[in-house]
Amino acid sequence: MSKFPDSQRMEKIVSLCKRRGFIFQSSEIYGGLNGAWDYGPLGVELKRNLKNYWWRVIVHERDDIVGMDGSILMNRSVWKASGHEDTFTDPMVDCLVSGKRFRADQIDEQSGWVVNFVGATDFEAFQKLQQEQEAPERSRIWSEIELGPHLRRIFTNPSGTFDLNSRSGYVQLSDPVEQTKSLELLIKRGILGASSLQPFSAMEIGGDPKSFKWSSRGVNRAIRVAQDFYRKRGVRNPIVFAVGLEREEHSKRFNPENGSLLTEPRSFNLMFKTFVGATEDESSLTYLRPETAQAIFVQFKNILEVSRRKLPFGIAQIGKAFRNEINPRNFTFRSREFEQMELEYFCRAGEGMKLLDYWLEERLKFYENIGIAREKLHARNVPDEERAFYSKGTYDIEYDFPFGRQELEGVAYRTDYDLSQHQNASGKSLEYFDEETKQRFVPHVVEPSAGVDRTVLALICEAYSEDEAPDEKGKMETRLVLRFHPRMAPIKCGVFPLLRNNAQLVAKAKEIVGLLRPHMNIFYDESGAIGRRYRRQDEIGTPFGVTVDFETMGEKDAALRDTVTVRERDSMKQERVAINDLAGTLLAEIT
């Protein structure tokens, strides 16, 4: 039974993806580009199989859906009308110490002790004044009459610690209001050296949940992080002033990694800006599309006219989308450049809710048909408060990834919102004329919108497994196998001559390659022991291995002439199949 979330499993998957050429980091030799990925020779095959199958079941196998391929760059007015320019935002927060950016809604809740600070001053200046306090009459500063009460307020028996090695420390202020006023005055007069009066708070990560203990050596994590905060603001060797302590429950105000206070959430538009043409100003500004759907909406009328379809009917599209995600993460799951497979299924207002349920079922079936176990798929009925205001119903189809349950696809009933927005903004009618009722109206739409990259990742996660198999000497060893559905497998069949140095076996194997190649992606391999060749294919999920041996040549039994061994990846069972039946037998499994 695997742990959940299972980070070890995810690490193995990421490493296999690189090792066997499924997915690489983009621009890797230059240190990479966060949120962008390149698909290698096997990854691209897997991705194509997925897209082709989606296109087949959504477009080719139905009468009521046609396809299109829209451009990535569109008139900026599209994004104004769709609402993306004003509202396609995520709330973001920054860590005040590390500068790391988070999506505010994705911060894990923290409970713990929070220490509040009013500022920090320079260790050397502080220490010097403290020493001078012992003989104030000899100190120029301590001798200034009006400074005396303020200096005493800060320096008489301060509670806290000072670390001579790190030249830093902390002081607890027992009378925060008065002492802060004194600090302010001393700092303004330049008496305390480099200082800051910027308030700050930090949560003590990993501290005792019941009671907060000030560390005798000033090494509380909250204090360390506060020292870093003030160092970044010019106080090289800070003594930080703590003014209060409080317990906070289920807070999202602090960086879970270091306890630092985060900034207040700010809206961050996720669209990548670009300029069309030679000038780079507002007049040439547009965006890389953040979803493919809008091209479908703005071409609705053209496609309706040329396809002569009646409602309900759909327009499907597969293509790239771009979002400047605040935190790309979980491998390809949240990327900045990704592909979508979107269907806009137009209908009458009264049909929307029924079609929403219909499409949810269709899409769940799709995932099962590509080899994702039904029990790992979940349909989440998105509650009112999380849904877009114009949506009357939305389901998220979620999958149990090793890093947790996450969305694969959204199936949303978007009403007539999109077409109405574009009709109003463009001034062009996007109405449908119903021949039977002689009525004109703006159609409603149900949208199943799936992510190609997320589904590829789900396919790999679902397929990844380790079992036991005998090695060349019959000793059991761990076998790494990707149990892809044959329909999705990047390579459908490996073809192996039993021996590489037997011209007859090699020639026969190459003949089989020629026979199968027009029908499927195959891989010819003659190097190494046959068991090793099987293992290499198991690791990349090739469902079938065809071996040409001496029986194939009719050397042992004339009845077996022109038959080969077909080995099935998961069961490792081997069967003899006539070469003439080979293409048909394999095609039945992979289509």
Give me the residues that bind ligand GAP (CB under 6 A), please: 291, 293, 323, 325, 334-335, 338, 340, 342, 407-410, 447, 449-451, 453-454
Minimal CA–CA distance to 464: which of 330, 372, 354, 565? Answer: 372
Question: Do the beta carbons of residue 483 and residue 465 sit within 8 Å?
Answer: yes
Least Å from the CB of residue 238 to ligand GAP: 39
Q: What does the radius of gyration of the chain's CA atoms come to, in whole angstroms?
A: 33
Least Å from the CB of residue 319 to ligand GAP: 11
DSSP structure class, residue 82: T
Q: Which residue minimizes CB distance to ligand GAP?
A: 451
Least Å from the CB of residue 335 to ligand GAP: 4
Q: How far is CA 529 from each of CA 251, 494, 534, rounded to the nearest angstrom?
A: 59, 14, 9
Nearer to ligand GAP, 340 or 563 (CB): 340
Long-range contacts of 276-279 (CB under 8 A, 24+ apart): 276/73
Least Å from the CB of residue 16 to ligand GAP: 20
Least Å from the CB of residue 290 to ligand GAP: 7
Nearer to ligand GAP, 122 or 447 (CB): 447
Least Å from the CB of residue 328 to ligand GAP: 7
Nearer to ligand GAP, 451 or 545 (CB): 451
Nearer to ligand GAP, 410 or 543 (CB): 410
Nearer to ligand GAP, 183 or 408 (CB): 408
* Distance of alpha carbon 115 from alpha carbon 112, whole angstroms: 10
Beta bridge partners of 172: 159, 242
DSSP state letters, 493-544: EEEEES-TT-HHHHHHHHHHHHHHTTTS-EEE--SS-HHHHHHHHHHTT--E
Least Å from the CB of residue 207 to ligand GAP: 35
* Distance of alpha carbon 377 from alpha carbon 459, whole angstroms: 12
Residue 302 corresponds to which tokens in the numbers above?
């053209």
* Distance of alpha carbon 537 from alpha carbon 485, whole angstroms: 14
Nearer to ligand GAP, 398 or 589 (CB): 398
Nearer to ligand GAP, 323 or 533 (CB): 323
Nearer to ligand GAP, 43 or 218 (CB): 43
Least Å from the CB of residue 255 to ligand GAP: 22
* Distance of alpha carbon 204 from alpha carbon 324, whole angstroms: 32
Nearer to ligand GAP, 457 or 530 (CB): 457
* Distance of alpha carbon 253 from alpha carbon 251, whole angstroms: 6
Minimal CA–CA distance to 74: which of 272, 302, 268, 326? Answer: 272
Minimal CA–CA distance to 494: which of 441, 416, 547, 418? Answer: 547
Least Å from the CB of residue 322 to ligand GAP: 9
